[in-house]
Structure 1
Amino acid sequence: MVMVYLLLPKVDRKKSRDVLQVSYKYRVKVIPKLILEESRLMALNSVKEARVLADNSELERAKNIVDEAKHMLEGVMVDDDPTELIKTLIYDLKQLSEFMKTQKDYEEKGRPYALSFETSHDRQRYAARGDVDEVRSFATPRMNAYLEQAKKFDNDPNTPPPSVETDEKIERANKRPPPPKPLPPVTPYFEIVRQVLNFIGSVLKWIAGRRT
């Protein structure tokens, strides 16, 4: 619906002036998935730009770009709450910024970290971040399970890892849908018939009473 208010001043002599003022309001529907994807691509492009600068020894400018992207992500909320993706992106950028304190740090840690980040988000697949285990973007449940098994085996090589069959059983159990909710009690058939007959009888009595 469009409402137009037309205010015309009194004309006492010929002159020119604005007589039409238009105001409007609109609402934008927020799509959470779109916000998250835009944030992810923003972080990805920022890391790419920062890496190119750092490769050319412009480390301060590169670090500023990473810090600015991190600051922007800290203001991204979906349903008044930062999602796991946003938290992970912020952590990634924070780590990369830490690895840009010196050119040596960048060459040894920052550049590999940035390339891993780019590979992961360009292909939307998991990519390891060296010895940083906190970031598990795009990792599948089975990948996470195998990582935990590897850690346990590293701590205690005498304990054998579970078999493939056991892994598959656990995975199927985790994917199993919850049992359906019980149906409400069904009124027995004869009880329904009795209620209908009682209703019909009441209607017939009412009709008979009206006739008399």
Structure 2
Amino acid sequence: MILITSLITLIVAAYDGTDYLKGEGNFMIEQNWIMNQTEEYMKTEFITQENEKFLKIFKKAESELSFKDGFYHLFEESQPQHIRFWFASGNKEIEDTNLRLKDTATDKTAVSFRCGYAGFIRVNDNQMITFYNNSVSSDAKIIWTQADILLNWDTQEVLVFMNESYMGSATFYHSEVTKVNEVMLYNLKPDTTSWWKNIKICKERCDNFAFTQIIVICFALFILLF
């Protein structure tokens, strides 16, 4: 019932959120993202290929195990219903490619996304996705995956999609979160690499989310049958 409620709540008019990695107009990293560590521990590179910009994060072997070594971006306090991003990871066994959606006032997290550790992707407390075993990337071959995470602030539940296929649901990472205003990108473990692009945080639903159309059809059939 909670799942059905979440899906119905999120069938709303599309809202095209800002691409927080690309920025508005001329791209300038210092106006959009802040690095929380020095080059002594982390090497970052913004790469342009075929009119696309993406971020590569390499955490050096001599760095510490920490979720504070990375990038963060602050935005207006709100209750977004959709975060979309494309990611790639360089290791299937060691945790890297981490993203958090959090509230800086309380230092609490609503969404914790992480790759690695025995070939899984974990969203909050649900280790749900095993496709990652065959999706390891390198500089020579970056294998991009689209992630869509829908947030229901009433039930404090997230729905997780990979390449617009439904993978599972989970509760908020911290149940006391009532709003968010920061997105963080980082690698947890030393000697790991991650890639990111097209990060959007949408007030309602990000544009061109094809799975939503399937939900509308299924819901209509559900009403007709019952």
User: Could you say which TM-score interval applies, normalised by the shorter chain?
Assistant: under 0.3
Ranked by relative contact order (alpha carbons within 8 Å, sequence separation 6 or more), the top structure is: 2
Structure number having the greater strand percentage: 2
Normalised by the length of structure 1, the TM-score is 0.24
Q: Based on CA coordinates, which of the two structures has the bigger radius of gyration?
A: 1
Structure number having the greater helix percentage: 1
